[in-house]
Chains A and B, each alone.
Chain A
Amino acid sequence: MNIDFVVNNVWELIVTGLTQGSIYALVALGYTLVYGVLKLINFAHSEVFMVGTFASWLTWNWLGLGVDTKVPPMVQVLGYVVIAMAVAAVAAGATALVIERVAYRPLRKRNAPSLIFLITAIGASLVLMEAVGIIVDRQPRGMPRLVQPAAQFDFFDATVYNVQIVIVVSALAMMAALDFFIKRTKWGRGVRAVAQNPETASLMGVNRDRIIMLIFALGGILAGFAAVLYCLKVGSTTYDVGFNLGIAAFAAAVLGGIGNLRGALLGGLLLGVVENFGAGLFGNPWRQVVSFLVLVLVLLFRPNGILGESLGRARV
Chain B
Amino acid sequence: MRQRFVRVAGGAALAAAMVASAAACASSNGGETAAANKCGYKIAFFGALTGGNAILGINIRDGAKLALKQYNDKHKDCTVDLVEKDSEGSAEKAPPLATAVAGDSKILGVVGPAFSGESKVANPILSSAGVVILTASATNPALATSGWKTFHRGLGNDASQGPAAARYIKNTLKAQKVFVIDDASEYGKGLADQVKQTLGTAVIGSDVIQEKQTDFSALVAKIQAANPDAIFHGGYVREGAPFLKQLRGAGVKATYVAGDGAKTDDLISGAGKDSAEGSILTCPCVPGDKVEGSFPADYKALSGRDPGTYSAEAYDAANILLKGIEAGNTTRAKLNDFVSKYEGQGITTKFKFQDNGELDPNSVAVWAYIVKNGQIVPDKEIPKA
A residues at B contact (CB < 8 Å): 5, 9, 12-13, 16, 19-20, 67-68, 70, 137-142, 145, 148-149, 233-238, 240-241, 244, 276, 279-280, 283-285
- Whether B242 sits at the interface, judged by CB under 8 Å, is yes
5 A-B pairs with the lowest CB-CB distances in the bound complex, closest first: A67-B272, A236-B242, A68-B273, A142-B270, A235-B245
B residues in contact with A234, CB < 8 Å: 214-215, 242, 246
**Which of B51, B54, B241, B273 lies in contact with A236, CB distance below 8 A?**
B241
Please name the residue on chain B nearest to A237 by beta carbon.
B214
Quote the shortest CB–CB distance from A39 to chain B (angstroms).
Answer: 31
Interface residues of B in 223-274 (CB under 8 A from A): 225, 238, 241-242, 245-246, 249-251, 266, 269-274
B205 to chain A minimum Cβ distance, whole angstroms, is 10
Interface residue ranges of B265-286 to A (CB < 8 Å)? 266, 269-274
How far is A250 from B212 in the complex, measured between Cα atoms in Å?
19
Closest-by-CB residue of B relative to A280 is: B218
Q: Are A241 and B271 in contact (CB under 8 A)?
A: no
Residues of B participating in the A interface, judged by any CB pair closer than 8 Å: 51-52, 54-55, 184, 207-210, 212, 214-215, 217-219, 221-222, 225, 238, 241-242, 245-246, 249-251, 266, 269-274, 374
B242: shortest Cβ distance to chain A, in Å? 4
List A contacts of B51 (CB < 8 A): 138
Given A16-B221, A140-B242, A149-B250, check contact A233 B215 (CB 8 Å).
Answer: yes
Contact of A138 among B52, B221, B271 (CB under 8 A): B52
Do A235 and B246 touch across chains, with their CB atoms under 8 A apart? yes
Q: Which residue of A19, A68, A280 contacts B274 across the interface (Cβ within 8 Å)? A: A68
Pair B249/A145 contact, Cβ less than 8 Å: yes
A13 contact set on B, CB distance < 8 A: 218
Q: Across the interface, do B214 and A241 meet the contact criterion of CB distance under 8 Å?
A: yes
Q: Give the CA-CA distance A140 to B270 in the complex, in Å.
A: 6
Residues in A with CB closer than 8 Å to B54 are: 138
Residue of B nearest to A8 (CB): B225
Which one of B184, B210, B222, B241 lies within 8 Å of A140 (CB-CB)?
Answer: B241
For A235, give the chain B residue with the smallest CB separation: B245
| Nearest A residue to B271, CB-CB | A142
A34 to B139, CA, bound (A): 48
CB <8 Å contact, B212 and A139: no
User: Are B270 and A68 neighbours in the complex by a CB distance under 8 Å?
Assistant: no
Q: Do B242 and A12 touch across chains, with their CB atoms under 8 A apart?
A: no
Nearest Cβ on chain B to A132's Cβ, whole angstroms: 13
Task: Indicate if the CB atoms of B272 and A142 lie closer than 8 Å.
Answer: yes
Q: Which secondary structure dominates chain A's binding surface?
A: mixed
State whether B210 touches A284 (Cβ < 8 A).
Answer: yes
CA distance A283 to B205 in the complex (A): 12
Distance in angstroms between the alpha carbons of A145 and B248 in the assembled complex: 10
Q: Assess the B207–A283 pair: CB atoms within 8 A.
A: yes
| A residues less than 8 Å from B246 (CB atoms) | 234-235
Q: For A238, what are the chain B residues with a Cβ–Cβ distance below 8 Å?
A: 212, 214, 238
Bound: A30/B115 CA distance, A: 39
Contacts of A285 in B (CB 8 A): 184, 208, 210
Q: A238 — nearest CB in chain B belongs to which residue?
A: B214
How far apart are A279's CB and chain B's nearest CB, in angstroms? 6
CB distance A240 to B212 under 8 Å? yes
Contact of B219 among A70, A233, A284 (CB under 8 A): A284
A–B pairs, 8, beta carbons within 8 Å: A16-B221, A67-B269, A140-B242, A140-B270, A142-B269, A233-B217, A235-B249, A284-B208
- For A19, the closest partner residue in chain B by CB is B217
Since A20-B215, A285-B184 are in contact, a sample of 12 more A-B pairs with Cβ atoms closer than 8 Å, ordered by chain A residue number, is: A5-B222, A67-B245, A142-B272, A145-B249, A149-B251, A235-B249, A236-B245, A238-B214, A240-B52, A241-B214, A283-B207, A285-B210
CB distance from A240 to the nearest CB of B (A): 7
Which residue of B212, B217, B241, B273 is within 8 Å of A244 (Cβ)?
A: B212
Question: Is the beta-carbon distance between B215 and A68 smaller than 8 angstroms?
Answer: no
Closest Cβ of chain A to B238, distance in Å, is 6
Residues in A with CB closer than 8 Å to B209 are 284
**Nearest-neighbor residue (CB-CB) of A241 within chain B:** B214
| Chain B positions within 8 Å of A283 at CB level | 207-208
Closest to B248 in A: A145
CB-CB < 8 A to A233: which residues of B?
A: 215, 217
What residues on A are CB-neighbors of B272 within 8 Å? 67-68, 142, 145
Chain A residues within 8 Å of B210, by CB: 284-285
Closest-CB distance, B241 to chain A (whole angstroms): 6
Least CB distance from B279 to A in Å reads: 14
Q: Is the CB–CB distance between A139 and B184 below 8 Å? A: no
A133 to B266, CA, bound (A): 16
Q: Which residues of A contact B218 (CB under 8 A)?
A: 13, 16, 276, 279-280, 284
Which of A20, A68, A284 sits near B207, CB closer than 8 Å?
Answer: A284
Contacts of A241 in B (CB 8 A): 214
Q: Which residue of B lies closest to A148 (CB)?
A: B249
Q: Are B266 and A139 in contact (CB under 8 A)?
A: yes
Q: How far is the CA of A285 from the CA of B272 in the complex (A)?
A: 27
Which A residues touch B184, using CB under 8 A?
285
Which one, B208, B219, B245, B251, contacts A142 given CB within 8 A? B245
Q: A149-B250, A241-B214 are in contact. Are A67 and B270 (CB under 8 A)?
A: yes
Instruction: Report chain A residues within 8 Å CB of B271.
Output: 67, 142
Q: In the assembled complex, which residues on chain B have CB atoms less than 8 Å from the CB atom of A280?
A: 218
CB distance from B291 to the nearest CB of A (A): 25
Contacts of A68 in B (CB 8 A): 272-274, 374
A12-B249 CB under 8 A given contacts A67-B270, A145-B272: no
Alpha-carbon separation in the docked complex, A149 to B249 (Å): 7
Complexed CA–CA distance, A227 and B266 (Å): 22
Contacts of B251 in A (CB 8 A): 149
In angstroms, Cα B184 to Cα A283, docked, is: 13
Chain B residue contacts of A145, Cβ below 8 A: 245, 249, 272
A12-B221 in contact given A68-B274, A140-B270, A236-B245 (Cβ < 8 Å):
yes
CA distance A276 to B217 in the complex (A): 10
Docked Cα-Cα span, A284 to B221, in Å, equals 12
Q: Which residue of B lies closest to A67 (CB)?
A: B272
With a cutoff of 8 Å between Cβ atoms, the chain A residues found around residue B273 in the complex are: 67-68
A78 to B374, CA, bound (A): 28
Q: How far is the CA of A73 from the CA of B241 in the complex (A)?
A: 25
Question: A67 to B374, alpha carbons, bound, how many Å?
Answer: 12
**Complex formed: what's the CA distance from A283 to B210 in Å?**
11
Instruction: Give the most central of A70, A140, A237, A276: most B CB within 10 Å.
Output: A140
